[in-house]
Structure 1
């Protein structure tokens, strides 16, 4: 009887599974967040507006291979993935909230992540200025906002926690913060839009090592060899270079060095704000979350969230997360000081490590390159 019962149970199990799939499909059809949720609730859950969500789905369908399946629409795949990016929760509760099983939730996150880092999408939404006109425009915007000429971006690294990798590669990801992470380098513009992101390095690598081995470093060196004087702003963890300006060490209060550091900090805090806005919107990247994937997939998720960050910035969405303390401090400083540096027109001199460019702050204001039009 037990054997007969075992053989007879198999069709029943298959029938129950089919019935459950039909129930889930009907539930997905009846529950549509675009119709059931208010605009504010939709933004709170998925971090973008309904209009922008429809635009995102259209972009993914037009530029990538992401498509609807027989039982699940493309929109549901994107909603499920956005819910994960926005919360960093486990896949089972995220799937339950969208009437899909854990395995399917994992599949949808993988499909949407791969679509978001498709070359067509990356090239459209994460662009480092590669034309002279784009760099001039960006430099002028930085000067108008912060009084510093020649700047085309701010750079820093941030650690994204991941689970313990395989034993043979674990040492590459163990960071000075005593956890396993990716050390992700980002460059932002004056609007906290990400211009470049490099998630290829493990947490054991120092910020300066990531920079020295980045394509942007090589690109800016080539620009300087061709006589173009533009640079990034970095903190004291980076080496001083003609194309990367860093603060003076141990500047005396009230000295010209301190004045330089003041303007430098006032602008460079943009990258801190960028990290804050990115992680507060896409909370799977927060330090109290851990990405439970292999390093390569974690890097893909960082890239996907960076694309979504710029996608939201382009719409001028009000940040859902609050600015961090440094962002608030920079905002207060901007309100208290509207001064910009006086300027003259002659060419910038560059010496070893770019220190002569930085030293021009000490003999007076930093000077605009003659090839840049006055803002």
Structure 2
């Protein structure tokens, strides 16, 4: 049978050239497989050795903030009070529980222990507001000090309602009025009101210039009402430095209390930057006051002096309030509230330490307010006739 056409057959010797070349090629493939196996085994051995070294490697000890020298143990009572403005007992028993900081579940990130956070903030309050001076307590950076001061201040400010409260009980009001009367025989006084300026950095924004006071620097106009023992009864610290004292008082909670007649029969004392109101008595202005008015003014000046005494003691105990607070506005407000809370704790614990005098910013002059409403002036005249006439 004849087959027409050409049949092509595959011959591997056409590619390899010869049978010997084919044998050499097979041997070459086997050698490559052998090299790959040896390399794989070598890699496994190296990985095992590396894992063994990692498991047996001696770890270099890291700096642990909790190992820093504890001021509660390393300092004497005198040294501790000088640096932190409070006794050890007051810090441990009264102030530290207010923070309610939870110990971290692990040492990841080497967190600052809660007690050292509190001491860092206390030293900041007791300095001129320079965070760099607080870094040596725990050996941390200025940025960490900034976060710690903010956190501690916010926690203390949250406790303000517990430690700053205007008296409401009749017995307590009577007790306060009697203490004020012992000062200069001015009756029915339940509190003295006054304002001071706390310097701050510019808060920025479109309303930044509102914080520039008449002396030309940025500030917060802080109003307080204090009792006869310089305990803060009411605090308002959110008004810019350009606001007059009168406006701060008109928008304060304490004014709302008196306006609602909750304290009928009791009065506040203020200087002439406030208006004369039925419940807020200010000095009588004029070139020729009557003898009764002079006696009233003398008793008023002596009794109201507790406000200036408070501001002096407050700023000397916490010098950060005398110098510019270099923080965000919200943090500055929290620091002011925290220092107010700490002041009342110190007074309650009779923990009074000698403060330090720091050159204060120039005092902001106050503008005499109007004489007040007609009813307030009439009530004051009747009050003077009743209590200060011979």
Normalising by structure 2, we get a TM-score of 0.75
**Equivalent in the alignment of 1:334:** none
Q: What do the CA deviations read for 1:125-180 (whole angstroms, capped 9, x no partner)?
A: 11111233332222122123331111100001100000122141212201112110
**Equivalent in the alignment of 2:303:** 267
2:286 to 250, 259, 269: 250
1:215 to 245, 249, 253: 253
For 1:179, what is the secondary structure of its paired residue? coil
**Equivalent in the alignment of 1:328:** none
Q: Are residues 1:102 and 2:142 paired?
A: yes
2:198 to 154, 160, 163: 160
Q: 1:33 to 1:166 in 2, by over 3 A?
A: same
Q: CA deviation at 1:24?
A: 5.0
1:92 to 116, 132, 137: 132
**Equivalent in the alignment of 1:283:** 319
For 2:112, what is the secondary structure of its paired residue? coil
1:125-140 matches, within 5 Å, as 125-140=163-178
**Contact 1:57 1:75 (8 Å CA) reproduced:** no
**Equivalent in the alignment of 2:387:** 365
**Equivalent in the alignment of 1:72:** 112
1:236 to 258, 272, 277: 272
The structure with the larger Rg is 2
**Contact 1:154 1:232 (8 Å CA) reproduced:** yes
Structure 2: distance between partners of 1:68 and 1:269: 45
**Equivalent in the alignment of 2:157:** 117
Consecutive unaligned residues of structure 2, counting only runs of 5 or more, are 1-58, 359-372
For 2:152, what is the secondary structure of its paired residue? helix
Regions of 4+ moved over 6 Å: none
Consecutive unaligned residues of structure 1, counting only runs of 5 or more, are 1-17, 325-350, 368-375
**Equivalent in the alignment of 1:6:** none
Q: 1:150 to 1:57 in 2, by over 3 A?
A: closer
**Equivalent in the alignment of 1:192:** 230
Structure 2: distance between partners of 1:304 and 1:143: 30
For 1:87, what is the secondary structure of its paired residue? coil
Q: How many residues align?
A: 312
Q: 1:107 to 1:273 in 2, by over 3 A?
A: same
